[in-house]
Amino acid sequence: MKQAISEITIRHISQKSLEEFAGTLGINASRQMVWFWKEGKQEPSFDTLSKVINSPTATAEAKAWAAECMEVRYGVRVGPAEPTFDQEVERRR
């Protein structure tokens, strides 16, 4: 069974506060947004996940979270040994 986005988010938040995790994403994310993901009330959009993956200021942990969510939610695998997100999108066109 695939993990839910909320389970992935809870695992990646670990000991961080919602504000701290939002700050690691490298995008304009609020603690409320992270709370919705953590509680399973909403899922991050494709656009949000791609922005985190491609953000020069996102932490490696945040990018790993976004990549894992991207794979579970959209079936797109992105990682260090994989093509960049933009390359993957181009390949699928």
Given this model, what pLDDT does residue 92 score?
77
User: With contact defined as beta carbons under 8 Å apart, do 82 and 88 qualify?
Assistant: yes
Side-chain-side CA neighbours of 76 within 13 Å: the count stands at 21
Query: Which residue segment(s) compose the domain that 37 sits in?
Result: 5-92
Cα separations in angstroms, 46 against 15, 17, 70, 86: 26, 24, 7, 12
Given this model, what pLDDT does residue 37 score?
96
If you count DSSP H runs as helices and E runs as strands, how many of each does the chain have, helices first? Answer: 6, 0
Using pLDDT thresholds of 50, 70 and 90, give the confidence band for residue 89: confident
pLDDT tens across 35-87, in order? 999 999 999 999 999 999 999 999 999 999 999 999 999 998 876 545 566 66
In this predicted structure, the answer to whether residue 8 has a pLDDT above a threshold of 90 is yes
- What is the domain count for the chain? 1
